[in-house]
Structure 1
Amino acid sequence: MSSPPATETTVRGWAPTGRTVATICAVGILVVGQLYVVLPVLGDLAQVWGTSRAAATWTTTAFGLAYGAGFLVTGPLSDRWGRRPVIVGGLAATALSTLVVIAAPSLGTGLAARVAQGLTASFFAPAAFAYLAERVAPHRRVFALTCLTSSFLAAGVIAQVLAQLVDDTFGWRAVFVASAVGFAISALLLRGVLEPGRRGDSAASVGSVFTAFAGLLRAPRLALLYLSCLAVLGSFVGIYTGVQLAPPEGVGTGSTALLVLRASAIPAMIAVPLLATRLAAINPELRLITALSAAGAAAAITAVPLGGIWVATWLFVFVAAVAVAAPAAVQAIAAQAGEARGAATALYTFALFLGASAGPQLANLVAGNGFPAVALAISALGFAGATLAFASTKAQPA
């Protein structure tokens, strides 16, 4: 990965790894968790808004689509205005947009509020990735990026568990009130933790920053890497959607059993960052190819009907592989992006969550044939991603 500009490294030095990574990752769980917090309260939302649970699920889709699309704007803005102002301002705005969800009187206004929440939340991820890629010391950078991507994966389980606990005790509105308070506190914390950085050239127009996308996508290696990123969260969300729609043989259909199956993979998300220093010695493209191949193989093995423990074991391997793939992809992309790291990581995160939106639909298509069909479809997606990543190493530079 390329080093930050000399003016940043010599004047301010590297950011302190511990507090920087811990704070950013904790906030990352809160931000990405907003995609999932509505799942435990769908019944409450349907009742308050006078609609069905099926219709209320669009609150997840509305947030996710706005969240992913927002990356295409917020990444270049962080190149232009700096990482800290974009992150802190976005968190403050998300505190307000989160409260708007509570005041929504109907499904239509609720969806609009979730769109606004997704857009404001999208200010975080691209700027956070770019900040870690620039300001964390090179020998700690893989660790930092791995922790951040692992926090995004962990949010899928942690957010649902916490939202359920809050809803059971205080009601669904308290879920969003607690989230809003969390965003306000996060804005204050990161304003103190993050260091001021270099801003973009004031003579350049904001619009000119967006032309970086065209340049990045014209590079064959980067284009193939972005396509391979679709398989990262696409496979992760897809296989867990399959677990929900068509539980594997030997796994109970109750909510507790499924939650335990999901939570069993959390140790993998913790273990992978601890191995980040050793993983850093491996070329990021090779890491990405190997990890996506391992995810594809592990998904295929879960198709074998040998009981719940068998599935849980290989889901652990699968999640560990995805947790390795995600930071490897962003590191490979950032290394080739030059000064347009914000735009590059914006496209990366957009690809991640575009895949996350497509993964459940892939599971939906085949879930009627049982979990083995889902597992094999997700396996094919993982191997396709690995193939695209391999092709990127053979493509000619732009």
Structure 2
Amino acid sequence: MERNWAGNLEYRAARIAHPASIDELRGALAGDGPVRVLGTRHSFNDLADTDGTLIATDRLPGEVHAGSAQGAVRVSGGLRYGDLAPRLQERGLALANLASLPHISVAGAVATGTHGSGDRIGSLASAVRAIEFLTPAGETRALARGDADFDGAVVHLGALGVVTAVELDVEPTYEVAQTVYEGPRWDAILADLDAVTSVGTSVSIFTRWSSGTAADQLWVKQRLPGDADGAARRDALVERLGARPATVPRHPILGMPADACTAQLGRPGPWFERLPHFRLDFTPSAGEELQSEYLVPRGDAVAALETLRSLAGRIAPLLQVCEVRTVRADELWLSPAYRTDVVALHFTWVRDQPAVEALLPAIEAALPSTARPHWGKLFTLPAEELRRRYSRFDDFAVLRDRFDPSGRLRNGFLARVGL
């Protein structure tokens, strides 16, 4: 019995293939039945499910090579970020950002528009400069930044083929220091949200929505070397928020041990050991959980947060923690940050799926109509509403038909979202 990482979904596949080479992958794709691709299983919905063949990428070679130009590397799609990062570090290279979990695959994160945090940093998909697919017909399709279909193909929901390689933007390695501040007041946060989210390279606000007056924690990751003016602004902001520096390492969920978390207390370290919240060698979950996330344009963010405060009495009983982050705009058709800087509202729920799914429509109705859900997490917005919120939705459907004219990659999730 095969399940996703969270354990809330049992895959319906009649067969799971584990190809160990591109030739074996081509053989697994041969035939005429439905297929889907399985990465590290971090989707909380049935995005990757099928009643045909699931093709897992975990045994494909995890290769890292020089890219086609300076400032780029070519990596296998199935490689996890936590395994890729040390190999880049050995070469003196780094990525601009990482998600909170290093356990996710490059291809899976890119396909769903997964992100880290930072006012000036795009999603993980925005670092892609070229992408290569093996289509259900066994054909190799390669696209590079600037090609006509590239912006449509990067965030692709597994609907175009199996990603065999991606080329990523890289830069010289750098260090980051991470500091946690406790008890920032909501009135001060909402009075100048831009100042809060710009106080570090990467900023996260954590709350359980159990207090109407203060959030739980503010996590600030600062790229080094910093500057004296930036440190002074941060100190002044922290004072204005009524927050205080944590004196011991913290977990995002108050009361949980911080062993699984990356180093804090302002101690410098390599980028890949600070930008994620969690360490690769730990399972980060607080237990069985569900997740949802909605990304809203920056101009709608304060109204969205006020809405969540008004729903706190309904949210808090089902919530483990809510995280607020920022993502820079991009040009990728199905990215939740398409052509707008966004603020991401992430929910880690207790694993009571009926109760969570009963609450989500109320949250979706109350949030601004510009909110876009994370494709790999739980949401209930109907297809017609998703189409309205993505101006290139129909263009992507045309692109999908060119890559998969027989519809072998289509599944229940794609049908439900209108693709």
What TM-score do you get using the length of structure 1 for normalisation? 0.25
The structure carrying a bigger helix percent of its residues is 1
**More relative contact order in 1 or in 2 (CA 8 Å, sep 6+)?**
1
TM-score with structure 2 setting the length: 0.24
Of Structure 1 and Structure 2, which has the larger fraction of its residues in strand?
Answer: 2
